[in-house]
Amino acid sequence: MQLGMLLRNSGPPSNADFIADCARAADTSGLDHVWVLDHIAIPPEESEGSGGRYVDALATLAFVAGITARIGIGTSVLVVPYRPALATANWLAAIQELSKGRLSVGVGAGWMETEFVVADVARKDRGRITDETLAFIRECFANDHVTRHEHTFIFSPRPAQPPILVGGQGEAALRRVVAYGDGWMPTIGDPDKLRAPIVDLQTAMAAAGKPPATIIPLTQIDLDDDAHGAEQIAALAEVGCTGVEHAARYETVDDFQRIAEDLLRVRQRAGIG
């Protein structure tokens, strides 16, 4: 069971030193990965806790890739319809190349109406745009030469494709995992609610001739009660989760380090490596 945390790229603390120090702390810890959030235009009424400040997800990961050596890095989740397909594919390839293969790409179709309006993207088209963009990204990573709008170009650098983990719940999200993804990032922490969807997803992946899906829910592990936290991790592993992303807000690097240590201790108590 892999363990990850949000690397805070939002709110007042998210300056260069804070992000760098937390990333370096994660790199020397026993955590397996850190994840950044993605928003591009927060309205004032939705800004509690962040103040509307989000350091761009892909720029943050490029920065983190250059100052770390071990820790996995990823988006949780990149809102695909806001971003041009080719530019996004190039960003992902660059980060994967410069991190030496440590990138995972959590993706989503988005939900915030204001962001769609500001980005000049029709919200009703978000599912179609997401699918088309993911198909194009996969094509880029699979071929040295790619054709788009009847013009062929060289896609380089072309490292190994980073895993694509689809966020969201429901049938549409699970279909997207099978069609375009390598895993699922639900915002569900209840193992009983995950059990049946995971079985259905893994059955569909096998039928499509694909490897078993990576399953990394975004949830909160109880770090105030080690026994309960260990039970949570064990229960998630039992229903087929391969990792967990602990959603915790913190204000200082010391807080980040303490949470990481608590997570690792609880996993050890669960007896799951």
Reported as a single tens digit per residue, the pLDDT across 146-163 is 999 999 999 999 999 999
> 72 with 34: CB under 8 angstroms?
yes
H-type alpha helices, the chain: 16-28, 57-67, 85-98, 113-118, 126-142, 170-180, 191-207, 226-238, 253-270
Q: Which domain holds residue 6?
A: 2-270
The model's pTM is: 0.96
Cα gap 142→144, rounded to integer Å: 7
The domain spanning residue 73 has which CATH number? 3.20.20.30
Quickly state the pLDDT bin for 272 (edges 50, 70, 90).
confident
Count other C-beta atoms under 10 Å from residue 191's C-beta: 20
Indicate the average pLDDT of the chain. 97
Residue 273 above 80 pLDDT?
no
The total domain count for the chain is: 1
